[in-house]
Amino acid sequence: MLANDVLSRIVSEIHEAKMYSIIADTMRDVSHVDQLSVVGRYVDKEGVPQERLVDIKEIHDKTGEGHAQEILSSFHAKSVNTDGIVFQSYDYTSSMSHVFKGCQVKVKEHLKRDVPYFPCLAHRFNTTVEHSCEASKAMC
């Protein structure tokens, strides 16, 4: 859990920026519970790009709809205006990227407007390295 003063500063900076991107990913913790991390990416008043963790929470509904609801509820719970969301970025799993039922489409439906989706390049790179290592031990 984020300390209240740190979280308050992050929320304040997002409000000042007025526009921000959302980034989210899940990971199983040591007890095999899926944890969703929710991040806001924005440019601060000095013009410096920032990526800040907004929330970490258990996620039980692993569908695109479930992810979208949890991501948006993280911002709503902190009184961050979701009208400021201008982009979204997630990994390539179908629950996140699928064009009909993925999180990226469900976020657009909830916000009732187009919010461009950009696949996370770090995830793509990680997947490329992982598959390269599986194909050839010489690559690793």
pLDDT tens profile 36-93: 999 999 999 999 999 999 999 999 998 999 999 999 999 999 999 999 999 999 876 7
pTM (predicted TM-score): 0.82
Q: Phi and psi at residue 129, in whole multiples of 5°?
A: -65, -45
By CB neighbour count within 10 A (0-12 exposed, 13-18 middle, 19+ buried), where does 71 fall? buried
Domain count, the chain: 1
For the domain that residue 63 is a member of, what is the CATH number?
3.30.420
* pLDDT given for residue 128 in this prediction: 59
Q: What is the pLDDT of residue 50?
A: 96
Structure-block tokens of residue 6: 């740190």
Range of the domain at 90: 4-139
Residue with token string 């695109």 = 64
- Condensed to tens digits (0 to 9), the pLDDT of residues 82-137 reads 999 999 998 767 677 778 899 999 999 999 999 999 887 665 555 656 667 777 76
Contact (CB, 8 A) for 96 and 26 = no
**Of 38, 40, 42, 48, which Cα lies nearest the Cα of 17?**
42
The secondary structure element, H or E, covering residue 131 is helix 121-135
Q: Roughly what angle, to the nearest 10 degrees, separates helices 64-77 and 103-111?
A: 50
